[in-house]
Structure 1
Amino acid sequence: MNKNISSLRTAFLFSMEVAAMPRKALKPCKHPGCPRLTEGAYCDEHKPLYPERLSASKRGYGSKWQRVSKAYLRKNPLCVKCLAQGKFVTATVVDHVIPHRGDYSLMWSESNWQALCKSCHDKKTGQEESRPVYKY
């Protein structure tokens, strides 16, 4: 009888430990110079400054884009920026010459596309992201 009470007590204590798991440690807010601790990336004050990025499919890069861009790369297999420098590098990304920023006429206009290697695409995108221009 005493053993049963002891095993019940042990089972009860074990279930209490599982239910009372410790929480994740708080991290500093990622906003430069903010000392607040938070569970997410940013504190409540800075969350509005950093909206979450939409998924690729919600930004227009779903299955249709995958299919069309692969076909474009088959027709244009070399990076245009590297080719201009006399290098023959395989293109892996279809880039929008003028960023579409949600404008579907720019998104789907093949005259606004160019084939780039990942390195050239990352450089171009990095320069554009540092000075974005939005048109509505």
Structure 2
Amino acid sequence: MTDKRPHHRTAAAQAYRPWYGLKIWKNARQTQLALQPLCERCLQSETVTEATVVNHRQPHKGDWSLFIDPDNHESLCAPHHDALVQKEEARGYAIGADIDGRPIDPLHPWSRS
């Protein structure tokens, strides 16, 4: 059976999607996972989970320098990448709170004055 749903990615996203197949990305991904083999979000809650995805801390949206910048790479498990990060990108701020219950992201609406 063929999936008849329209492609959910924007035209801009479809334009940079091939970057993920480039050798330079595959090497960057392998390097990141070798440097940090555990999910960085799970570690924040003291849970040890293997990272299988390299996320861009700041969405690159077609900006090559952000795409390839190792300081913009984050090791994640698939559940964190596929759920939490997608929600954060849609909202525009990181989800999470410090020990006092205050949002960790200064862009959170609660932090705005």
Give TM-score scaled by structure 1 length: 0.53
Q: Distance in 1 between matches of 2:14 and 2:43?
A: 33
CA RMSD of aligned residues (A): 2.4
Work out the number of aligned pairs and report it: 84
Structure 1 segments of 4 or more deviating over 6 A? none
Q: Which residue of 2 aligns with 1:95?
A: 55
Match of residue 67 from structure 1: 27
CA distance in 2, matches of 1:69, 1:83: 19
The match for 2:38 is 78
Please give the TM-score of this superposition, normalised by the length of structure 2: 0.62
Equivalences for residues 120-131 of structure 1 within 5 A: 120-131=80-91
Take 1:114 and 1:85, find their aligned partners in 2: how far apart are those partners? Answer: 16
- Preserved CA contact (<8 Å) 2:28 2:70: no
Q: What is the alpha-carbon distance in structure 1 between the residues aligned to residue 46 and residue 21 of structure 2? A: 33
CA drift at 1:105 = 1.1
- Residue 67 of structure 2 is matched in structure 1 by 107
Three-state SS of the structure 1 residue aligned to 2:75 is strand
Which consecutive unaligned segments of at least 5 residues does structure 2 have? 93-113
Aligned residues with identical type, % of pairs = 35
